[in-house]
Structure 1
């Protein structure tokens, strides 16, 4: 059974933690995903096998944490991640951000660079509420969002549609990371599938071009989709984490 952290904002965040050596690894999940996903569990298995500290958690409104998903926003989930990392980890951490978790990781790196030993992004989706949702809404969808406060989008991962709220879109505009300088002064390994139907390769290339740092690399995997959870993809995630841990130890 997961433990629970109460954040400074009063939200109850479910988490699982493995004690071990540093730098620890923190998994940051995606939009409407949870800490029980394939990538999170593969990382935990690796951490246990190698004696590495590890943390996975559910944002508010996700998985086993408190709150209603429709009340949430990028800022809320960033605050959840910040509280979890500051309260439940020691020293700099290797952040592994999947999809929206990549955006959350970049927000953490911008505000708390001293807590980041390195960053691995998997199909990172920075600024997706603006560039991947609002920019692609039809005039009718924008009107519905304004008049009704929400709009339903079809999902490839569930029979239930995604409900997108006006609050999510509007609050996200204060969290954008691709409109101002983004310095990443630690090893960054970006992983991206060429068959990703949710986050196109162009997003990874834009982030690569925009971010500033001396050790930023992008790996494209031909044919990999947004889940990035095949055995080979999981091995690549683990290898990326291991290489960052080794570089940190040698620094």
Structure 2
């Protein structure tokens, strides 16, 4: 059953919470994705089978939450995640961040380390507004973005994405690969080698940049950005089992 959280920023966030033992799991989805995706539902079923608490939610402008996607930015979606985790979970959580959710989980680890017991990322996309979109735009596209406020970029998932000037500019205030990033808890990064949205180079850069005593990167040959085949889901569950085992 979907419930709603009204946040301090006056945004209405849809969520599903499964009660259970802790540390609980929190799934943080990707850019323009929602909490009804394959990975979110598979992990919810896995958590339920173990009697473990599980939270999934839609950022503002995503899924059935309030707000318009085109008006949002990384900071807004980080605030949504932070507000949901602080209001709806008890104690430190194991965060599972997919794509943009990987970036947001890293922000959560930096700003609220007391709420993070462990971390699993799936094709994490830290700083993608700057190192992905802005870096790939030519001079003409950058000028159009600055002068008109938005540009459209092709998406392999359907309609083009609208990339706004605010998304780029606000994202610059949330970068995590330009300053020290401590991850002092069990951390597993998962990445497919056939991912055309987030490259293995990004995963290796994150692994090299982050600081932690228990950190591993697993590359799965041939896996794409969705990372939702049975083999991929099995790898996510195995990573979670490792992280939870290290916390006992």
TM-score (norm 2): 0.99
Aligned length: 248
Q: 1:179 aligns to what?
A: 178
Q: 2:21 aligns to what?
A: 21
Aligned-pair CA distance for 1:137: 0.3
Q: 1:57 aligns to what?
A: 57
Aligned-pair CA distance for 1:245: 1.0
**2:208 is equivalent to residue 194 of structure 1:** no
Structure 1 gaps of 5+ residues are none
| Alpha-carbon RMSD | 0.5
Task: Measure, in 1, the Cα distance between the counterparts of 2:154 and 2:246.
Answer: 42
Aligned-pair CA distance for 1:138: 1.1
Could you give the per-residue CA deviations for residues 164-191 of structure 1, whole angstroms, max 9, x where no partner exists?
A: 0000000000000000000000010000
TM-score (norm 1): 0.98
| SS class of match (1:190) | strand
Aligned-pair CA distance for 1:214: 0.3
Q: 2:103 aligns to what?
A: 103
Task: Measure, in 1, the Cα distance between the counterparts of 2:10 and 2:67.
Answer: 10
Q: 2:242 aligns to what?
A: 243
Structure 2 gaps of 5+ residues are none
Could you give the per-residue CA deviations for residues 104-158 of structure 1, whole angstroms, max 9, x where no partner exists?
A: 0000000111111100000000000000000000111101101110000011001
| SS class of match (1:198) | coil
Task: Measure, in 2, the Cα distance between the counterparts of 1:92 and 1:238.
Answer: 19
Task: Measure, in 1, the Cα distance between the counterparts of 2:116 and 2:181.
Answer: 14
Task: Measure, in 2, the Cα distance between the counterparts of 1:145 and 1:168.
Answer: 11
| SS class of match (1:14) | strand
Q: 2:93 aligns to what?
A: 93
Aligned-pair CA distance for 1:73: 0.3
- Hey, which bits of structure 1, 4+ residues long, moved more than 2 A? none
Q: 2:112 aligns to what?
A: 112
Aligned-pair CA distance for 1:239: 1.1
Q: 1:139 aligns to what?
A: 139
